Structure 1
Amino acid sequence: MLAGDEDGAVRIEAGRALSAAHDGSSDFGDVLVGLLRDPVAGVRACVAEAVADGPDRSTAVADALVSLLDEDDFGTRLDAAYGLLRRDHPHTGEAIDRVGPLNRPGFEHDHRISACWTWKWEAAQQRSA
């Protein structure tokens, strides 16, 4: 299977294709989780981007996204937090905090940043109500 190919670029494209074509089966989810835990940071980053907006709402994929919150790469952490936000995960607030400062140059118009700010604002409104 292409998700196990030795070439990281092939694994990335397999992850993107699997995320887009996900049929809800655990087999798809298992492969995506494997790619989110790939030994190569670039593969994890690209697959996280594809999975963040993807249809898989399984606990296994959410747990794999949580594990990416410790990545050095800001974009990977942002995709992981955004993916958890889209899944209405109970640890979304903690995930957004672990992304780091959201006011990064170059990300002013990023939909993921906007979603995080909106989530934080709505959470604050709920706490003050």
Structure 2
Amino acid sequence: MASALRGLRRAVARLREIPDRVNQARGDALREWAADLEKTAKDLAPVRKGALRDSIQARVNEGSGKAWVEIKPGKTREYAYYVEKGTSKMEDQPFMGPAAQIHRRTGERAMRRAGRRRLGRW
């Protein structure tokens, strides 16, 4: 009887850990996805002096469960728009859109991997 109670207590304790482990897995997946997207955007960005490439940054808000890649505020942000969309004097050289398209599904895979790591055998 005592061993059954001990096993039940252990099972309840493990069940209480699930929400924390799921949140940790979500945070891991968001960071992984954002880092991959940032790297791809930097690889695809046209480089003259490197300011545009260096201004690309990944951001993660684990509280809201959101991750994104952006251009740091400043003059480079406006320039990035013109590079991405083109102007009447310059052809478009998209880099953020294609990077997002490449990583459209990688967030799901990152979540599966993080879930296995955090919720696998514990």
TM-score in terms of structure 1 length: 0.27
Structure in which a larger fraction of residues adopt strand: 2
Q: Select the structure with the greater relative contact order (CA < 8 A; seq sep ≥ 6).
A: 2
Structure in which a larger fraction of residues adopt helix: 1
TM-score in terms of structure 2 length: 0.29
Of structures 1 and 2, the larger Rg is shown by: 2
